[in-house]
A and B are shown apart, each in its own frame.
Chain A
């Protein structure tokens, strides 16, 4: 039987752990609200942008003169995986799920004889993937200093990716992030950003009006495609931010509940052994008295 002092210490330590997880849950809840707002604020832009792009892509996309960003390089030999994860842990399966999806994809591609290159955003994904794919890493973007993700962050990442694309370093780029559904559900998602695919949804909206383009359709498309990459990265970053906080919130909620259960169990055990000790002492006293 564990002695009383040990039990008491354990209860105290679990209690302080519970306090920490509770605090983290509340912080995550506050951050989640902000992250969700940011994601919602960016939605009108992304939506309109995609609508216009879909219209443009539909009218220009088929031709041979279409920009490479839309048409692709004509090969899919070298694949770039952009894996977005969080900078911090303690958020349940959030990072593990994204890394798992990326790992699966990388292994699939390798099995098919493709070359895989990996660019990570966020420390956790880098740590998780470095073990298996250390040789495939071409870069890492550190956002740990960034308090609030701005469009400029996305632009920098996009610029990096586009420079590599222009230099012919890869043919296809895929973005890995967790889509925020609600607090308990985040879906790890793979989204191809280069060559860009804009389809569905917008088609019926834009087809009603035939637009004049100024300057030409091709020039606008060439101008907008790089922006499209930034926009997609930006919205992925925001989705990821919201997902991370959501995942952390539910993970910490579970942890708090588990700690509570553990405290209850330990308290019962503590009381039981305390009573046993008292009973023991009583028996000793009584049998001592009887012996006289």
Chain B
């Protein structure tokens, strides 16, 4: 059995990573999951969170906002709306993201959108804030 798989992380603006990996932890919409080689083919949407990539060269981390991941037995592609390598991530970045989520929540509330949209925006906001705590920034 192969113990590595091809991992691609792409955002619309550029391709961030393409390498052989042992395991990747994905912040899925319904909870974190770790994809390893020979995983059952799955497509999941992402929530904002940290993507942890374990390869033979060590572990690297990326902060991703929404998007989706396509997992198959020998490859994993993550298509993130925005992806930032962890070491380039700063408080300012995060603040920007939180601010964005907050305005979205606000407009959703003010526009009297259906309940679930407001709920979703609130969830996004709390996801963003949790992200900050998680990274201990």
Residues of A within 8 A of B (CB): 38, 41-42, 44-46, 48-49, 52, 56, 150-151, 154, 209-215, 219-220, 223-224, 227, 230-231, 234
The verdict on A48 contacting B79 (CB below 8 Å), with A212-B40, A213-B44 known, is: yes
Interface contact B30-A45, CB-CB below 8 Å: no
Contacts of A42 in B (CB 8 A): 12-14
Residues of B within 8 A of A (CB): 8, 10-15, 28-30, 40-45, 66-68, 70, 72-73, 77, 79, 81-82
Contacts of B13 in A (CB 8 A): 38, 41-42, 150-151
A152 CA to B72 CA in the complex, in Å?
30
Q: Which 5 A-B pairs have the closest CB atoms?
A: A209-B41, A214-B44, A212-B42, A151-B12, A41-B14
A48 CA to B18 CA in the complex, in Å?
14
Partner of A234, one of B10, B12, B29, B42: B12
Interface contact A214-B12, CB-CB below 8 Å: no
Interface contact B41-A48, CB-CB below 8 Å: no
Contacts of B8 in A (CB 8 A): 44, 48
Interface contact A211-B43, CB-CB below 8 Å: yes
23 of the cross-chain contacts (CB-CB < 8 Å) are A42-B13, A45-B12, A45-B79, A49-B79, A52-B43, A52-B70, A150-B13, A151-B11, A151-B13, A151-B81, A151-B82, A209-B41, A212-B40, A212-B42, A213-B42, A213-B44, A214-B30, A214-B45, A215-B44, A223-B45, A223-B68, A227-B66, A227-B67
A224 CA to B66 CA in the complex, in Å?
10
A45-B15, A52-B43, A151-B12 are known; give 19 further A-B pairs, CB within 8 A: A38-B13, A42-B14, A44-B15, A46-B12, A48-B8, A48-B70, A52-B70, A56-B43, A150-B13, A154-B12, A211-B41, A212-B41, A212-B43, A213-B44, A214-B42, A220-B43, A220-B45, A230-B12, A234-B12
Residue ID in chain B nearest A234 by CB atoms: B12
Q: Which of A46, A52, A219, A234 has the most CB of B within 10 A?
A: A52
A223 CA to B29 CA in the complex, in Å?
11
Contacts of A56 in B (CB 8 A): 43
The verdict on A211 contacting B10 (CB below 8 Å), with A41-B15, A45-B79, A52-B68 known, is: no
Contacts of A230 in B (CB 8 A): 12
Contacts of B68 in A (CB 8 A): 52, 220, 223-224
Residue ID in chain B nearest A235 by CB atoms: B12
Chain A nearest CB from B26 CB (Å) reads 10
Chain B nearest CB from A71 CB (Å) reads 20
Residue ID in chain A nearest B77 by CB atoms: A48
Contacts of B45 in A (CB 8 A): 214-215, 219-220, 223-224
Chain B nearest CB from A15 CB (Å) reads 42
The verdict on A213 contacting B77 (CB below 8 Å), with A45-B10, A224-B68 known, is: no
Interface contact A227-B81, CB-CB below 8 Å: yes
Chain B nearest CB from A292 CB (Å) reads 87
Chain A nearest CB from B51 CB (Å) reads 15
